[in-house]
Amino acid sequence: MTTVDKLEESLYLKLREVSESPDLEVKLLLCYVLNCTKEELVLLSSKEIPTAVENKALELVKKRLLGYPIDYIIGYRYFYNDKFYVSPDTLIPRPETELLVDLALTEINSYPPSKKNISILEIGTGTGCISISIASQLVSKHYSENREITFIATDISENALHIAKKNLNHLINDQSNTPFNFIHADIYTPFNKEENGLLSKQRYDLIVSNPPYIPSSRLKDLPSLVQHEPEIALDGGKDGNSLIKRIVEEVWPYTKNNSAFILEIYEESENSLRELLNEYSKNYNFHYKFLPDLTGRIRFLTLHRTK
Ligand code: GLN
């Protein structure tokens, strides 16, 4: 039998080989196997660890050494202010995507106070982290009081929707002013035809999405951690833009005047997207902006419908 601090030290030495933050990952892993918080872990440090628990930790570290992400091992990841369940059916939420939530909140806060009904569509919701974080902020800042903010979130993966629903129910207790509908759909075409009716009546104020945007030919060059994430959530087709194109074209008929799209994009796609937007400007009325993430890389496209 060994003690918690000794195991922590030996796991650290192993994880150092593969992880950029071995210290954090070891703590997450030990909290997971010991079923305790980080604060409790400190108090346990000189305690003996049961052999079965030690073996479990060693087995999980083996998986991690093979490149499997820690987030899938422990089953969650923090995003914005909350803890989100993740699974190999969902993309792991990234810190840069938190800015998409901020952009959406800025957009919503710019609406006149008289606007009492707001409808938001998210395409490819995954864990639900974008929509749920928006809703959670609107609830906690009391913005949703006396308003109805409706969310429709689609995903092509039913398993991902299952995780998103679990996250919603665990993170937002009172959903009365922020009702959610999760729909199994390919972009905006539901697999269950009965849901066509629900979707075809909607008109949206805001569309948010972090769609798959990696060009297919680049998938094999992604870091090994990303290789374990669902390809369907990453593969953006030949130039990386095929899902973005589909979102704009398929959802545009369901947008209101003055509505906005806020999309996460591939940093290298700016020029090809500019060409596409020039094309679109012949048929659609909008203005657009490219915005960087906190590392200064172009990461978002916002598009405001003007008519
Ligand atoms: N941000 C992810 C990455 O760089 C890609 C996510 C996506 O395709 N939407 O690996």
Q: What is the CATH number of the domain that holds 280?
A: 3.40.50.150
| Nearest protein CA to atom 1 of ligand 1, as residue | 94
Q: Whose CA is nearest to atom 10 of ligand 1?
A: 226
Count of domains observed in the chain: 2
Residue located nearest, by CA, to atom 2 of ligand 1: 234
Is residue 91 located within the same domain as residue 228? yes
Atom 5 of ligand 1, residue of closest alpha carbon: 234
Domain containing residue 41: CATH number: 1.10.8.10
Contact 164, 182 (CB under 8 A): yes
Tell me: do 35 and 162 sit in the same domain: no
User: Residue 81: pLDDT above 90?
Assistant: no
Q: Do both 112 and 246 map to the same domain?
A: yes
pLDDT of residue 307: 79
Entry pTM:
0.95
Inside any domain, residue 259: yes
The per-residue pLDDT for 224 is: 86
- Asked, for residue 192, whether it belongs to a domain, the answer is yes
Indicate whether 94 and 69 sit together in one domain. Answer: no
Q: Does residue 158 share a domain with residue 48?
A: no
pLDDT digits (tens, 9 = 90+) for 36-69: 999 999 999 999 999 999 999 999 999 999 999 9
**69 and 92 share a domain?**
no
Residues in CB range of 303: below 8 A, 6 or more apart: 248, 260, 261, 263, 277, 286, 287, 288
Decide: helix, strand or coil at residue 123: strand
Mean pLDDT, range 243-266, rounded to an integer:
97
How does pLDDT run across 122-177, given as a tens digit for each residue? 999 999 999 999 999 999 999 999 999 999 999 999 999 999 999 999 999 999 99
Check if 226 has its Cβ closer than 6 Å to any atom of ligand 1.
Answer: yes
244 falls within a domain: yes
Domain boundary residue, one of 74, 102, 118: 74
Render pLDDT for 265-304 as a digit per residue (tens, 0 to 9): 999 999 999 999 999 999 999 999 999 999 999 999 999 9
Indicate the top mutation candidate among 71, 91, 156 to test ligand 1's pocket, ranked by most ligand atoms within 8 A of CB.
91
Q: Quick check: is 236 in a domain?
A: yes
Model confidence band, residue 197 (pLDDT cutoffs 50, 70, 90):
confident
Q: Are residues 222 and 279 in the same domain?
A: yes
Give the residue numbers spanning the domain of 49.
Answer: 2-74
Domain for residue 82, yes or no? no
How many distinct helices (H) and strands (E) make up the chain?
12, 12
pLDDT 10s digits, 13-35: 999 999 999 999 999 999 999 99
Of 74, 104, 136, the domain-final residue: 74
Neighbour count for residue 217 (Cβ, 10 Å): 10
Clarify whether residues 179 and 285 are in a common domain.
yes
Instruction: For tokens 């008109």, name the residue.
Output: 203
